[in-house]
Amino acid sequence: MTESEEQGLSAVAGSRAATVKNPDVMAPLIQIIDELRDVSRTASRNDLRGRLGMVRARVADTRVRLVVVGPPKSGMSTLVNTMAGAPISATDSAISVPAIVEYGPDATATLIRREGGGRIRRQPVDPLDPAPALTAKGVIRADFTQPSPLLAEGIVLMDAPGATVQERSTWSMIAAADAVLYVSDADTEYSRDQIAHLHRIGQVCPTVICVLNKIDRNGHWTHVQERNRELLDAAGLGFAVAPVSAAIHQEAQQSGDQQRAIESGLPQLVEHLREYVVAHADATAVKSAVRDIQLVGDHLGVTLRTEADALRDPRRRAHVTQQLATARDQADQLRQRTATWQITLADGSTELMADIEHDLRHRLRTLVRGAESEIMRTDPQRRWPEFGAEWETRSAEAIAENFELANYRAEELADQVAARFPADHRTPDLPDIRPPYPAELLEDVAPLESLQTTRAGALDQFLSALRGSYGGILMVGMATSLLDMPLVNWYSIGAGLLLGVHVLWEDRRGRKLRRQAEAKAALARWMEDVIFQVGKESRTRLREVQRVLRDHFTDIATDALRAADEALRVAEEAGAQYGDRGAERLARLDSDMGKLRDLRQQAGSIVAA
């Protein structure tokens, strides 16, 4: 962001807006920032000077800047229009430009247009219908004033574009804001990319409120809210999640239905802003500004020390330059040809997934063997439903132990990859892959199948005994008839009874064996389903860990390359520019480094106070 753009973010001034930030509290920070900007000019770090300009504009503004961001079509513009009480941002339009709305006694609208030669022109337009003018060529921003009671409390709303083409301006607005409203659709939970995006937003602006919009269109929004809360907690992001419906609130405003307005969630969101953002504006602004001051101070210190080392001993100038070139090459190799840590991560991830899946199979097969022994000792039909419930409980315990092992092994893998890097910034924030409720992973698994072979009924048992008795009577009766005895006699009757009981017992035994075989087969099929579902979830979570590690260490390599390139450029420029006035320049650098230390201490004392 250029200096003119920084100033433009607060160009529209509402003179009657409430003062939220105490100017007396902000004054010491503004003085420190101004002195740091002078040091950054000496160090030829215009990028840091521009960032300090944004910090100064944010601190000097006595109001609270609230930027609304989110994916396209999530209802950001509708939410801004509802909170401002006027049609500020265009909805359902392909044209998307940043919009800033502040308090003013009258409604106004001004377009900021970029013309030839880099000139900026402000063009007043109709505040009741600004949309047609937004399609004009060169429009880069729209500034509004509205006599809104919410804005009169000292809140400035900034609507960031929801398209990726405006990525640069969106991040500039986030950096210039005191708080961020991240708006998303209540239809779906946060994706991994959205969680990563929120993590990056929190690094730029720590005060973030997640807004779940369009709850009127999604009946299951409460489940989405709970799931988003779990995802944020797992990522270590303590952001509030506020469900709202801007459309319901607009309808309630038109009809005057206060109960409907409360159901929309907008009053609760505004009250949260008052209690946790506006009421703590001084502390939040001080903490955020001091963090930026310390970060900029670290970069300036590296730049000043590098140039001072080159000037202090002219004979070492070439040596220092060579050292910086070597550092740049090493950083470049670390990012582009990082075979060592990438191979460690890839091989470790593959081995980890295989070991975790093997451990899961081993645990479940151990349970299956125990269950099969229990099945063979008894008739499974007697307590098959209770057996299924017990088996699911034991399986959930085994799954929990498996994920506990996976989480431990993932931390070990992170340490192994980190060992390939210098000691600085070694430990990344890994997501906790342990499920809070392991039994939920079994929801997509079909329950144990019912046994098809049942016990024989009274009629079946009678017919089985009758068949056995008939054969016994006939066989023995025919044998005894050779002794001139009748076919039915006491011997044939006794033999019939014995064979009938034997056939009945064999039928019961056969049915029991078939039930046991069916139970074992059902158990095996259930185990395969569990391994399929749980294994897929385990691999998904481990791949997320792999992506976090990859992104973390890639960022380290990229930052090292950027710092080395900048330090090398400054050192080379200093050597060429101050060759004849090296002593004078060196004295200025030493003075600025001492001043830099003092400014950092002053900033630290403000936070401590």
- Residue of 451, 579, 467, 589 whose CA lies nearest to 520: 451
Helix (H) or strand (E) holding 526: helix 490-577
Return the pLDDT at 414: 84
Return the pLDDT at 292: 86
Quick check: helix, strand or coil at residue 22? coil
Amino acid at 99: A
Quote the distance between the C-alpha of residue 221 and its chain's center.
18
- Residue of 150, 151, 208, 154 whose CA lies nearest to 177: 208
DSSP single-letter state for residue 277: I
Amino acid at 483: L
Interacting residues of 86 by C-beta distance below 8 A, sequence separation 6+ = 101, 107, 127, 144, 146, 148
Return the pLDDT at 12: 40
Helix (H) or strand (E) holding 210: strand 208-213
Maximum distance among all alpha carbons in the chain? 144
Average pLDDT per consecutive 10 residues, the chain (609 residues; last block may be shorter): 42 58 88 89 84 86 90 83 77 68 87 77 80 73 86 88 62 87 90 89 88 87 90 89 88 85 89 89 87 85 80 61 60 55 81 88 84 76 73 83 87 81 64 76 71 58 60 64 66 67 66 75 80 83 84 71 63 54 76 86 76
pTM listed for this prediction: 0.56
What count of Cα atoms within 13 Å lies in the side-chain half-sphere of residue 593? 15
Backbone angles phi, psi at 395, to 5 degrees: -65, -40
Residue showing tokens 């039915």: 488
Return the pLDDT at 475: 67
Return the pLDDT at 208: 92
DSSP-derived secondary structure for 71-106? STTSSHHHHHHHHHTS--S-SS-S----EEEEE-SS
Angle made by CA atoms 251, 253, 258, in degrees to the nearest 5: 100
Burial of 74 (0-12, 13-18, 19+ CB in 10 A): buried
Evaluate whether 6 touches 50 at the Cβ level (below 8 Å): yes
Helix (H) or strand (E) holding 456: none
Return the pLDDT at 182: 93
H, E, C per residue of 135-148: CCCCEEEEEEEECC
Return the pLDDT at 66: 92
Return the pLDDT at 181: 93
Distance CA 534, CA 360 (A): 9
Return the pLDDT at 122: 85
